[in-house]
Amino acid sequence: MGARRQQDYGFFGPGSVTWRVWRYPTSVVLGFLRAVVIEELDPHLVASVDQSGQVKQRPKLRYDRTMQYFATVKFGDAESVLRASDTLVKIHSRAVGDDPITGGRYDANDPASQLWIHLTAWHSILYTYEVFGPGKLTEAEEEQYWEECARAAEFQTIDPADVPRTREGIRAYFAAYRPRLVGSEVAQDMMDFLLDASTIVLPERMPTPLRFVFNTVARRAVIATLPRWMRKLGATNQSGLTDRVAIALTRPVVRAVAASTWLQVWALRIASPRTVPILEPVLRGVPPVRPVVREPAEARAQYGVTDPREQYAAILADRAQQAGPAPYPKHHHEQLLPFPA
């Protein structure tokens, strides 16, 4: 059975650095795990995830649906991206509640929270691509990558103007955000759980020895990419020797998978079946019905989809009229995402 054809190239396309980096095998496991592990250090985000309870109850499904969403934004056709974005804002509109660590309120649609998640994901995907894959991008390629990161922000409540356009800007953003991060017991517990890659990525039918080997290496490979101060916050310390061994064992496996389209599709079917219909056409080079890259404003006008920032403004206005948000629904995340994204 052949790969399904998309209607168009969506908002990036084969000439984008986004396609080159995000389609590389590092993104599916290592990049994604690094991102979600780091995200848990934000007390507002971990409060949302912990109170939902769905990450631990259905880790494989949460991972699969989150990967499906990320793949849709990067590789889906324009209408699919806009519909997924619209749905995400609506789901997140119910993810509000109290953060017991800081005493504040969290709101999954809050632009500052969304920017933290967005940049953590884009940086982690690029960083694992550099460490385990082909290496660093050229200066021009990296500039294009962060410009495309800003474009992807348009499908969340983020103001694209707030997205740094250089690696130095990204570093400055994380340095400024660092004082907000908290290595609470809840955060450390969630980070430890997410680093159990076999539970999140591999199907239950996989033999126990294979799961053990996979998790042993993947866990240490992800930790090897974390800065020392972050490991201390998350109670995920390991030695420099372990870092080097984990990277040395992982890198050739990743590169071998990257060299074979068949292996990439096979691994994707195991790790994230919902992502296969979106990413397989890209991996196999199947052109869309209309081989064009779309512009967000033009596509929104065609499909009648509201800009996420306008959606969020309307949500806030409606909350103000109702004198406060509705109670946090325990199971709302099961519709699409395990983590606010």
List, for residues 317-341, the tens digit of each pLDDT value: 988 888 554 444 443 333 334 444 4
Output the six-digit token pair for 202. 């591999």
d(CA 33, CA 165): 24
Q: 132 versus 211: which is more confidently predicted? A: 132
The answer to which of 32-41, 101-110, 277-286, 316-325 has the lowest mean pLDDT is 316-325
Q: Tell me the pLDDT tens digit for each residue of 142-156.
A: 999 999 999 999 999
Backbone φ and ψ of 47, nearest 5°: -65, -40
Q: 215 versus 2: which is more confidently predicted? A: 215
- Mean pLDDT over 35-58 rounds to 84
Bridge partners of 97?
Answer: 106
Output the six-digit token pair for 261. 């389209």
Q: Which amino acid is at 255?
A: R
Q: Tell me the pLDDT tens digit for each residue of 55-81.
A: 778 888 888 998 999 999 999 999 999
- Mean pLDDT over 134-145 rounds to 96
The reported pLDDT for the residue numbered 153 is 96
Strands 96-98 and 105-107, sheet pairing? antiparallel
Q: What mean pLDDT value characterizes the chain?
A: 89
Instruction: Give the position of tokens 């972050």.
Output: 230
The reported pLDDT for the residue numbered 273 is 93
The reported pLDDT for the residue numbered 328 is 45
Q: How many CB atoms lie within 10 A of CB 312?
A: 22
Residue 114 pLDDT greater than 60, yes or no: yes
- The burial of 241, by beta-carbon neighbours within 10 Å (0-12 exposed, 13-18 middle, 19 or more buried), is given as exposed
- Mean pLDDT over 236-260 rounds to 96
Bridge partners of 96?
Answer: 107
d(CA 52, CA 95): 9
d(CA 215, CA 201): 9
Q: Tell me the pLDDT tens digit for each residue of 275-306.
A: 999 999 999 999 999 999 999 999 999 999 99
